[in-house]
Amino acid sequence: MQVGDLAFYMAHPRCLNLSDPGCRKTGSACVYAYFLWTDKKVGTAWAMPKSLLRKNRDEMLAFTDFRPQDVIIVDGTAAQRAKQFASGAKVFLLGFDCFSTNWQMLPPFVSCVMIDEWHMGYGNNDSLRTQRLYDAMEKFEYFLPLTGTIINGKLSSAYPAVQIIDPTLYGSYDVFMLTHAIVDGYGKVLGWTNPGKLSKFFGKHAIRHSFEEVYGKEAKVVINEQCEMDPDQRAAYKEFEAAGLLELEDSWLEGSLPGVNFIRCRQLMEHPQTFGAPLDKIKLTGKEQRLMIHLEHAKETGKPLLIFAVFQPQQDRLVDICKKMGFRVGMINGTVSAAKRGQIDEDFQAGLLDIVVASAATASVGFNWGHLDTIIFMSIDFMDSSFLQGYRRAMRGVRTSPLLIYVMEYEKSADQRIFQIVEIKSAMAVEVDPTQVAVKISAAQVLEFLK
């Protein structure tokens, strides 16, 4: 735990910890919850992605003198949850939705809410989950979100935390948007402005430790690997490219999903074989062929790999490819239960699995895989946070050798625009907090960075 974190929390009953992954946010939060109970008899509700429930309970017990019966995971049926709330525990760990729909059932002595990976649960003002959190904060005196990604692709992702901590700064979401959003005559968001106001707010109300501050400069090398599409794949892709890219331009700034043409472009890029003849004859795509080189190397060295991919059919193919080469493989995505993810995590760390194939949405937070030397992104989503959080699964403390991060990119494809959008979002986050690491993943940006 960083010296001074606890003192900061004590002086600011509603504040944030915006430290980078691996910089001990969890430990300081656990100690804070213990302080609140021992000094003030204040209990804590800790909301988080369900995949972190087990891990964070273990860490709460490791960092404090709470007894196992003092730290309870709330989950299951209505009857089970009622029993858990009445258990006499001091700390209650809940998934985001469980907290938002059950906070009224917490005992009266629970007056602190901590939220892990805030950006994944409450970064959208208009969501029902966030609106319920606003209602809940009338009950809670203490508030501590934990995230290294307070700006998650757009400045408005910061608003809910700002509003809860200091509702007088903007007063309403409409005022926030008038202050920071650049819109056209139809209300469409064209860009964002005035990041300095948010930077000043977080400088006052948040504590932050960068990875470089704690461990020194990140020991990593980003390697962009250019791949070629199969001719049949390219022909099918071109049918949707123009309309798809136009849909993307209409959606990415305001955070809405791209249209069907762009999604089809990406599907044809990442798992064309699922579309039938003649694409089902493609034994390996250009990206998969490049992956085979890394798999052969992993077979020779015995070193583990983490492979990220966006689409479930692509993840399924990657698991199948790896298994056919004799690797022991686990998959973490939205179809895998929290308990199963926890078991895969333990097996991976214990050396019982050689490779984990995962989506960034489910495996880019909470896991500590410092034993990795190589991470491969077969495809990425539109969030700079997914890339940063993803590779930082292996940036746990000081590394003795650089982490190799391979990013697959199809030549002359939608990949270039996706990478550019991610880099633009990253640059916006750096404007709010200059200690953030700028994401550079496109071929041109990586080459410029290495000069």
Compute the distance between CA of residue 98 and CA of residue 120 in angstroms, rounded to an integer: 14
Instruction: Specify the pTM.
Output: 0.72
pLDDT band at 375 (very low <50, low <70, confident <90, very high): very high
Specify the pLDDT at position 449: 43
Q: Is the pLDDT of residue 5 over 50?
A: yes
299, 303, 296, 239: which is closest to 269 by C-alpha? 239
Compute the distance between CA of residue 6 and CA of residue 12 in angstroms, rounded to an integer: 10
Q: Is the pLDDT of residue 2 over 70?
A: no
Q: Do the Cβ atoms of 404 and 374 come closer than 8 Å?
A: yes
Sign, CA dihedral 397-398-399-403, equals positive
Question: In angstroms, what CA-CA distances link 372 with 84, 100, 108, 328?
Answer: 37, 36, 44, 15
For residue 306, the one-letter residue type is L
Largest CA distance in the chain: 69
Give tens-digit pLDDT for 199-220: 999 999 999 988 778 777 778 8
Q: Do the Cβ atoms of 308 and 375 come closer than 8 Å?
A: yes
- Arithmetic mean of pLDDT, 143-147: 96
Compute the distance between CA of residue 327 and CA of residue 2 in angstroms, rounded to an integer: 39
Compute the distance between CA of residue 89 and CA of residue 100 in angstroms, rounded to an integer: 19
Specify the pLDDT at position 172: 96
Compute the distance between CA of residue 191 and CA of residue 249 in angstroms, rounded to an integer: 12
Give tens-digit pLDDT for 312-339: 999 999 999 999 999 999 999 989 988 8
Specify the pLDDT at position 382: 86
Q: Do domains 5-209 and 215-236+283-450 have the same CATH topology?
A: yes
For residue 60, the one-letter residue type is M
Two tokens at 86? 């009445």
24: alpha, beta or left? (left if phi > 0; alpha if psi -120 to 50):
left
> What residue has token string 């760990």?
93
For residue 350, the one-letter residue type is A
Q: Do the Cβ atoms of 405 and 375 come closer than 8 Å?
A: yes
Q: List, in order, residues 6 or more apart from 212 with CB less than 8 Å away.
A: 218, 435
Give tens-digit pLDDT for 102-112: 999 999 999 99
Q: Which helix (H) or strand (E) holds 192?
A: strand 189-192
Compute the distance between CA of residue 439 and CA of residue 426 in angstroms, rounded to an integer: 6
CATH topology of domain 5-209: Rossmann fold (3.40.50)
Q: Is the pLDDT of residue 425 over 60?
A: yes
- Arithmetic mean of pLDDT, 66-89: 96
pLDDT band at 398 (very low <50, low <70, confident <90, very high): low
Specify the pLDDT at position 24: 78
In DSSP notation, 416-442 reads HHHHHHHHHHHHHHHHH-TTSPPP--S
Q: Do the Cβ atoms of 435 and 218 come closer than 8 Å?
A: no
Compute the distance between CA of residue 147 and CA of residue 161 in angstroms, rounded to an integer: 11
Two tokens at 445? 């940006």
Strand 181-183 to 189-192 pairing: antiparallel
pLDDT band at 450 (very low <50, low <70, confident <90, very high): very low
Compute the distance between CA of residue 391 and CA of residue 236 in angstroms, rounded to an integer: 32
Structural domain spans, the chain: 5-209, 215-236+283-450
- Arithmetic mean of pLDDT, 73-89: 95
Give tens-digit pLDDT for 165-198: 999 999 999 999 999 999 888 788 888 999 999 9
Compute the distance between CA of residue 218 and CA of residue 216 in angstroms, rounded to an integer: 6
Integer-rounded Cα Rg, in Å, for the chain is 22
Give alpha helix (H) positions in 168-210: 173-180, 195-205
Helices (H) and strands (E) in the chain, counts: 20, 15
Q: Please give the mean pLDDT across all residues of the chain.
A: 90
Q: Do the Cβ atoms of 134 and 165 come closer than 8 Å?
A: no
255: alpha, beta or left? (left if phi > 0; alpha if psi -120 to 50):
left
Q: Which helix (H) or strand (E) holds 114?
A: strand 110-116
Strand 110-116 to 220-227 pairing: unpaired
CATH topology of domain 215-236+283-450: Rossmann fold (3.40.50)
Compute the distance between CA of residue 319 and CA of residue 327 in angstroms, rounded to an integer: 9
Two tokens at 101? 């729909």
% of residues, the chain, pLDDT over 70: 95
Most confident stretch, 8-12, 361-365, 387-391, 399-403 = 8-12
Question: In angstroms, what CA-CA distances link 8 with 51, 257, 375?
Answer: 28, 38, 35
- Beta-carbon-side half-sphere exposure of residue 72 (alpha carbons within 13 Å): 22
Q: Do the Cβ atoms of 162 and 16 come closer than 8 Å?
A: no
> What residue has token string 């707010």?
201
> What residue has token string 């002595």?
109
